[in-house]
């Protein structure tokens, strides 16, 4: 079943590319079937099955096709299948090829979450870049080529350095293969370990993203197709926190201990700096890009604390933010469809003429702000709880970012929906009702019953904290 | 022995039947000869054949190289059709000359004897001088003359090297060890002579002009088959003299200069063939990275195959667009709309050359870097990887020129004859061998030793 789950979107993606006229139907059916498989797999995982499978891919070089679900992978997998389905449901007016590329990206994302072999992880991680680049290059705005080059160079420099690190981890550490278990049994310490850690660190800092390697992100979002589909897939592709959790931190506990204070500082500064910049934005996509960046900073703060609470919080935040940030990008796409602009200012006073639209916007914004009862809160809370144990002062700085989130998100909301003059606009159409309802249900469910997910993540988080020495 | 004879007879038969049969028939004959070579390779795969008192040693390494050359030649033959018709390209000589060049490369790859090696080198080179000029245009003549003069210099280097090698060791067969100044000079000369042919910086100066000036199918052949043959000889020389002392620093300098210079200069080119010429220079550097490992033969052969398929595919697409004056970047615009097959082939080829998984180019890079890592050369691996990241910039530029910009002229590209077959086949292979890396790499694992 795990292979069907990983490769089903790819098959539907290729079909959608070959049949542009029925791309939308194929996209919906493909992502819905994947969603069903994903939910069933998650159920199976909770029932105690890990779907582990492995077979040699390039036996001479110790590379295996090894996949399986652990708690972290399964929770994020669920976020990917749900969010992709919501995005494909919402984006009904995109060019047909984009649907195919989005489905191909889904395969890459599921593969990198399931991979239990470092080289296989790298292959999926890099392969996902191809449809992402094509989406930006083919359907982006006027400055797309510049944004594309920036995005590609940051990603590739990071990941090629990581490839060097991958080779070093195995050959200097003496592991017989690239399987996660083998690598963990042969840790690489000393100064070489530090260098390999830095290589991994840079790759995942680009993809978290963390200051100062985040500069590709605003352009990436601002130049992508206004429908928001590419932005949602790009948001899902920000798997840096997962990369730290699954690979970097467990492989290099010694080097991490050395860097921990600086990484905590970097995470806190990313959170606060991005929130500050987000406040000044007047463009929906840039605002959301910086807002998401700020949240990733909070997640990184929790993860780098080395405590089980922080690690659970980071992964929960990653999963939750995929849904609400993705939803906000799609929501902004809906506004673009109505007014032909991503600018916040000229679309004021919508609440009167489009109350349902305003309500959907409010739910998404409040989830982002971290209102208790919605999906943003548990993650942020656990992150700060974990971070407090490692560094109260940086946690205080991170907390400022949480307050700032309320400022920039509610400010934007007020500008669009409540400022005078009032603007006539169409309320939610049928498609928007559908995806809006679905997204709201997911956000509320994650908010009121986070235990389902946190308890799945907890064993892995405790194992990680044990390796890292509990952050103290 | 069968392989040698098949190649020899293919070259002879196509030469003479060209006097009375139409070019189409000659092309078919050459392709049949290449296919027969593949069959004979398959039957003798992994078994070493030694003949002529050891002067001809057809071991697993040479078999891998011959496979790469035949693949390159077949893509070049399949992709030429439309080019030939559009530009009124001179009749049949193309086919026997390609066959002779493959024969020369095969000889060059299958011998530990330096004398035989230079005979193979000349059998390979002389048809290429003619091929470069075969369109009979100014640019073609310039390319041919440059190639000829610099090729002669390279041969001279190599011959001096042989003489010094004889002086230092008292023989012509690779595998002997010498010492002292004469020995060091011999090693340097031999390496320099072959570095010319393999286009390693700073011996690469002919490459961009020759690749740009030659007809595109010929460029394709040079970038794939000729590079493979040159590397076979280069690898044999480097491995047999060993990487102790000055040879190590010479090779490290060649590799690092090549990957950085090739990639950096490729970034500022405005013409696709020239850009790919510099890209092929850079790839020569990656291939040579494998030589730092303890057992370079499998990785080196595999990289050559991966590279030949990818770069062959890229040049095959350009051959369909080339009007005889090269392919400026802006004339690539809207490629996908003008011909989906060319668009797909171009995308796959460039992503593979850039080294993105799951395409075969990634596994090629992965295996050579792995090999160097096994040899403990982490610094060289890290620097070469950094150069690969620079390279992504111009591959994306080439890809962007074709995909992300509007077309000036939107008329579809008419593909005829065997070109679509060649392009489709190469595209499928690049993807298939990328998804199942064991399939391609398994072919080369038998080549455990370059020198015996």
DSSP string for B384-443:
HHHHHHHHHHHHHHHHHHHHSS--S--PPPPP-TTHHHHHHHHHHHHHHHHHSHHHHHGG
Number of domains in chain B: 1
DSSP A59: G
Q: Beta-carbon neighbour count of residue A11 at 10 Å?
A: 16
**A422-445: average pLDDT:** 85
Cα separation, B224 vs B234, whole angstroms: 15
Residues 6+ positions from B376 with CB-CB distance below 8 Å: none
Across A221-235, B50-64, B151-165, B420-434, least confident range: A221-235
What pLDDT sits at residue A469? 74
A171/B373 CB distance under 8 A: yes
Cα separation, B69 vs B157, whole angstroms: 25
A198 and B CB contact within 8 Å: no
Nearest to A60 among B356, B369, B445 (CB): B445
Rg of chain B over all Cα atoms, to the nearest angstrom: 20
Cα separation, A346 vs A336, whole angstroms: 12
What pLDDT sits at residue A92? 85
Chain A residues closer than 8 Å to B403 by CB: 134, 137-138
A163/B385 CB distance under 8 A: yes
- The answer to whether the beta carbons of residues B329 and B276 sit under 8 Å apart is no
Measuring CA to CA, which residue among B165, B237, B160, B164 is closest to residue B195?
Answer: B237
Q: For residue A472, what pLDDT band results from cuts at 50, 70 and 90?
A: very low
Q: For residue B90, what pLDDT band results from cuts at 50, 70 and 90?
A: low
What pLDDT sits at residue B375? 86
Contact residues, B window 278-317, toward A, CB-based 8 Å cutoff: 298
B293-324, pLDDT tens digit by residue? 888 889 999 999 999 999 999 999 988 888 77
Nearest to A56 among B351, B386, B438 (CB): B438
Cα separation, A263 vs B26, whole angstroms: 67
Residues 6+ positions from B388 with CB-CB distance below 8 Å: A156, A160, B259, B263, B286, B354, B355, B365
What pLDDT sits at residue B83? 62
Cα separation, B433 vs B302, whole angstroms: 11
Q: For residue B449, what pLDDT band results from cuts at 50, 70 and 90?
A: low
Cα separation, A43 vs A74, whole angstroms: 10
Cα separation, A434 vs A451, whole angstroms: 26
- Structural domain range at position B265: 2-444
Cα separation, B214 vs B429, whole angstroms: 26
Cross-strand bridge partners of residue A67: A53, A115
pLDDT at residue B282 greater than cutoff 90: yes
B381/A119 CB distance under 8 A: no
Chain B residues closer than 8 Å to A168 by CB: 373, 378
Measuring CA to CA, which residue among A115, A169, A124 is closest to residue B362?
Answer: A124
Q: A15-47 as b/e, with b when 16 or more CB fall inside 10 Å?
A: bbbeeeeebbebbbebbbbbbebbeebbebbee
Token pair in block for residue A90: 């919402």
A164/B381 CB distance under 8 A: yes
B385/A160 CB distance under 8 A: yes
Mean pLDDT of chain A: 87
Reported ipTM: the value is: 0.86
A167/B392 CB distance under 8 A: no
Q: For residue B438, what pLDDT band results from cuts at 50, 70 and 90?
A: confident
What pLDDT sits at residue A93? 85
B16-31, pLDDT tens digit by residue? 998 888 888 888 899 9
**A95-112: average pLDDT:** 91
pLDDT at residue B82 greater than cutoff 70: no
Shortest alpha-carbon distance between residue B286 and chain A (Å) = 14
Q: For residue B287, what pLDDT band results from cuts at 50, 70 and 90?
A: very high
Mean pLDDT of chain B: 88
Residue B182 inside a domain? The answer is yes
Classified as helix, coil or strand, A334 is helix
Q: For residue B81, what pLDDT band results from cuts at 50, 70 and 90?
A: low
Residue with tokens 């032909």: A340
Cα separation, A250 vs A469, whole angstroms: 11
- The answer to whether the beta carbons of residues B136 and B90 sit under 8 Å apart is yes
pLDDT at residue B417 greater than cutoff 80: no
Cα separation, B104 vs B127, whole angstroms: 9
Domain ranges of chain A: 254-472
Write down the H helix ranges in B110-179: 114-132, 138-169
Chain A residues closer than 8 Å to B438 by CB: 56-60
- The answer to whether the beta carbons of residues B450 and B296 sit under 8 Å apart is yes
B319-358, pLDDT tens digit by residue? 888 877 778 888 888 888 888 888 899 999 999 999 888 8
Q: Beta-carbon neighbour count of residue B173 at 10 Å?
A: 17
B369 and A CB contact within 8 Å: yes
Helix (H) / strand (E) containing A118: helix A118-127
Shortest alpha-carbon distance between residue A173 and chain B (Å) = 12
- The answer to whether the beta carbons of residues A165 and A200 sit under 8 Å apart is yes
pLDDT at residue B451 greater than cutoff 70: no
What pLDDT sits at residue B85? 64
Cα separation, B181 vs A102, whole angstroms: 62
Shortest alpha-carbon distance between residue A297 and chain B (Å) = 27
Chain A residues closer than 8 Å to B298 by CB: 60
**A255-265: average pLDDT:** 89
- From A122, which residue of chain B is nearest by alpha-carbon distance? B357
B369/A164 CB distance under 8 A: yes
Chain B residues closer than 8 Å to A144 by CB: 404
Classified as helix, coil or strand, B353 is helix
pLDDT at residue A228 greater than cutoff 80: yes
User: What is the sign, positive or negative, of the torsion defined by CA atoms of B145, B147, B149, B152?
Assistant: negative
B438/A152 CB distance under 8 A: no
pLDDT at residue B52 greater than cutoff 80: yes
Cα separation, B201 vs B380, whole angstroms: 16
Cα separation, B168 vs B151, whole angstroms: 25
Q: Beta-carbon neighbour count of residue A398 at 10 Å?
A: 29
- The answer to whether the beta carbons of residues A91 and A231 sit under 8 Å apart is no
Residue of A134, A167, A170 to mutate, interface with B, max B Cβ within 10 Å: A167
Higher model confidence: residue A258 or residue B81? Answer: A258
């Amino acid at each position: 079943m795990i292979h069907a789950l990983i490769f089903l979107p790819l098959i539907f993606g290729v079909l959608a590319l070959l049949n542009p006229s029925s791309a939308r139907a194929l996209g919906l059916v493909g992502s819905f079937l994947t969603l069903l498989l994903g939910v069933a797999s998650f159920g199976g995982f909770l029932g105690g099955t890990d779907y582990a499978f492995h077979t040699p891919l390039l036996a001479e070089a110790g590379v295996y096709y090894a996949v399986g679900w652990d708690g972290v992978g399964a929770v994020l997998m669920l976020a990917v299948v749900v969010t992709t389905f919501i995005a494909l449901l919402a984006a009904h007016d995109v060019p047909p090829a984009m649907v195919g590329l989005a489905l191909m990206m889904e395969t890459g994302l599921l593969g990198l979450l399931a991979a239990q072999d470092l080289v296989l992880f790298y292959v999926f991680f890099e392969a996902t870049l191809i449809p992402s680049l094509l989406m930006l290059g083919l359907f982006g705005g006027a400055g797309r080529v510049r944004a594309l080059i920036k995005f590609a160079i940051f990603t590739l420099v990071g990941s090629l350095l990581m490839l060097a690190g991958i080779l070093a981890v195995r050959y200097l550490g003496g592991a017989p293969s690239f399987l996660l278990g083998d690598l963990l049994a042969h840790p690489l310490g000393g100064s070489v370990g530090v260098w390999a850690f830095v290589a991994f660190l840079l790759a995942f800092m680009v993809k978290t993203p963390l200051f100062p390697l985040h500069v590709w992100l605003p352009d990436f979002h601002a130049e992508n197709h206004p429908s928001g589909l590419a932005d949602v897939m790009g948001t899902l592709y920000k798997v840096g926190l997962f990369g730290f959790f699954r690979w970097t931190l467990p492989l290099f506990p010694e080097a991490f201990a050395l860097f921990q204070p600086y990484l905590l500082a970097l995470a806190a500064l990313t959170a606060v700096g991005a929130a500050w910049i987000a406040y000044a934005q007047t463009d929906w996509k840039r605002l959301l890009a910086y807002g998401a960046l700020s949240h990733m900073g909070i997640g990184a703060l929790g993860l780098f604390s080395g405590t089980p609470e922080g690690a659970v919080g980071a992964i929960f935040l990653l999963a939750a933010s995929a849904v609400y940030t993705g939803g906000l990008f799609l929501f902004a796409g809906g506004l673009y469809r109505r007014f032909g602009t991503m600018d916040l200012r000229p679309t004021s006073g919508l609440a009167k003429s489009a109350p349902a639209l305003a309500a959907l916007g409010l739910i998404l914004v409040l989830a982002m702000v971290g209102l208790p009862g919605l999906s943003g809160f548990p993650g942020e809370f656990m992150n700060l709880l974990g971070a407090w144990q490692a560094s109260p002062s940086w946690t205080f700085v991170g907390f400022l970012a949480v307050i700032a989130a309320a400022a920039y998100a509610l400010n934007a909301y007020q500008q669009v929906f409540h400022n005078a003059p009032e603007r006539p606009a169409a309320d939610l159409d049928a498609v928007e009702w559908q995806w809006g309802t679905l997204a709201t249900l997911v956000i509320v469910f994650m908010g009121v019953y986070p235990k389902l997910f946190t308890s799945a993540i907890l064993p892995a988080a405790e194992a990680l904290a044990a390796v890292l020495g509990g952050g103290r | 022995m069968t392989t040698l004879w098949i190649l020899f007879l293919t070259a002879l038969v196509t030469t003479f039947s060209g006097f009375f049969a139409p070019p189409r028939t000659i092309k078919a004959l050459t392709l049949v000869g290449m296919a027969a070579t593949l069959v004979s390779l398959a039957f003798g795969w992994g078994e070493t054949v030694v003949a002529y008192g050891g002067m001809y040693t057809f071991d697993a390494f040479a078999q891998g190289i011959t496979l790469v050359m035949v693949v390159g030649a077949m893509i070049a033959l399949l992709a030429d059709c439309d080019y030939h018709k559009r530009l009124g390209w001179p009749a049949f000589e193309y086919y026997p000359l390609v066959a002779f060049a493959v024969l020369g490369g095969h000889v060059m790859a299958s011998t530990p004897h330096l004398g035989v090696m230079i005979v193979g080198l000349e059998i390979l080179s002389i048809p290429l001088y003619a091929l470069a000029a075969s369109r009979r245009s100014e640019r073609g003549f310039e390319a041919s003359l440059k190639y000829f003069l610099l090729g002669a210099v390279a041969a001279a280097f190599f011959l001096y090297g042989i003489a010094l090698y004889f002086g230092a060791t008292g023989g012509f067969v690779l595998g002997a060890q010498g010492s002292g100044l004469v020995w060091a000079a011999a090693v340097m000369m031999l390496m320099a002579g072959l570095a010319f042919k393999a286009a390693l910086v700073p011996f690469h100066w002919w490459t961009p002009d020759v690749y740009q000036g030659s007809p595109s199918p010929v460029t394709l052949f040079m970038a794939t088959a000729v590079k493979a043959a040159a590397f076979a000889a280069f690898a044999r020389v480097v491995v047999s003299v060993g990487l102790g002392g000055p040879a190590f620093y010479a090779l490290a300098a060649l590799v690092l200069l090549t990957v950085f210079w090739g990639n950096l200069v490729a970034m500022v080119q405005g013409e696709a063939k020239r850009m790919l010429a510099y890209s092929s220079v850079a790839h020569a550097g990656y291939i040579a990275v494998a030589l730092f490992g303890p057992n370079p033969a499998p990785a080196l052969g595999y990289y050559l195959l991966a590279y030949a398929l990818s770069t062959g595919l890229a040049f095959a697409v350009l051959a369909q667009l080339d009007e005889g004056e090269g392919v400026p970047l802006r004339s690539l615009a809207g490629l996908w709309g003008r011909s989906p097959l060319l668009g797909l082939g171009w995308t796959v080829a460039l992503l593979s050359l850039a080294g993105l998984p799951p395409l075969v180019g990634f596994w090629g890079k992965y295996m050579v870097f792995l090999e160097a890592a096994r040899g403990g050369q982490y610094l060289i691996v890290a620097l070469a990887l950094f150069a690969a990241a620079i390279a992504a910039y111009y591959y994306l530029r080439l890809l962007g020129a074709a995909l992300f910009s509007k077309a000036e002229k939107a008329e579809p590209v008419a593909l005829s004859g065997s070109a679509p077959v060649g392009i489709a086949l190469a595209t499928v292979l690049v993807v298939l061998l990328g998804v199942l890396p064991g399939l391609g790499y398994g072919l080369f694992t038998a080549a455990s030793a370059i020198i015996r």
